[in-house]
Amino acid sequence: MFNHILVAVDGSAHSNSTLSTATEVAKKFEAEVTVVHFIEHEVGRSSVYRLESVDEAKKIVAAAVKKLKAAGLKTSSQVNDVAHGHAAKAIVDIARERSVNLIVIGSRGHSEIEGLLLGSVTHKVIQLAHIPVLVDRRPAGK
């Protein structure tokens, strides 16, 4: 059913729980997993400011890929630079480009109203996605 899964990671403890969920699903369906991470940037008056370094982003992705490969899964990864607030669209675009048929993403447990007010990436992915989205609502570290 699912032969290519995309999992978005941000390096948080909650993201690690989401990676575990993606691993379980990928094993069940013998699916390839693409790990994505976005370096968000803010646009100032005269320049662009990254909210994290490229090296930090690569370390986050490398740790996720290492965990997936240790579980015996075929993996690929992608690190993209994206304007702050545009990660959800980028996730959906990559899923389409790579012929992904399941997106696994975490939710920090905000209420629906909080998610709308905070601009939840997960909420936006659900709205934009053309494929199933599995939302991991497990508490971080479980």
E-only strand ranges, the chain = 4-8, 32-43, 48-50, 75-83, 102-106, 133-136
Q: Can you give the pLDDT at residue 41?
A: 74
Q: Is the pLDDT of residue 67 over 80?
A: yes
CB atoms within 10 A of CB 1: 9
Q: Which fold has domain 4-135?
A: Rossmann fold (3.40.50)
The tokens for 11 are: 């390096």
Average pLDDT over residues 65-82: 94
Q: Can you give the pLDDT at residue 122?
A: 87
Q: Are the beta carbons of 32 and 23 closer than 8 angstroms? A: no
Q: Can you give the pLDDT at residue 121?
A: 86
Q: Residue ranges of the domains in the chain?
A: 4-135
Q: What is the pLDDT of residues 2-39, one digit of tens each?
A: 999 999 998 888 788 899 999 999 999 999 999 999 88
Between 49 and 127, the more confident residue is 127
Task: Report d(CA 66, CA 77) in Å as an integer.
Answer: 11
Q: What is the mean pLDDT of the chain?
A: 85
Least confident of 45-54, 66-75, 82-91, 126-135: 45-54
CB atoms within 10 A of CB 88: 23
Q: What is the pLDDT of residues 43-57, one digit of tens each?
A: 666 666 666 788 889
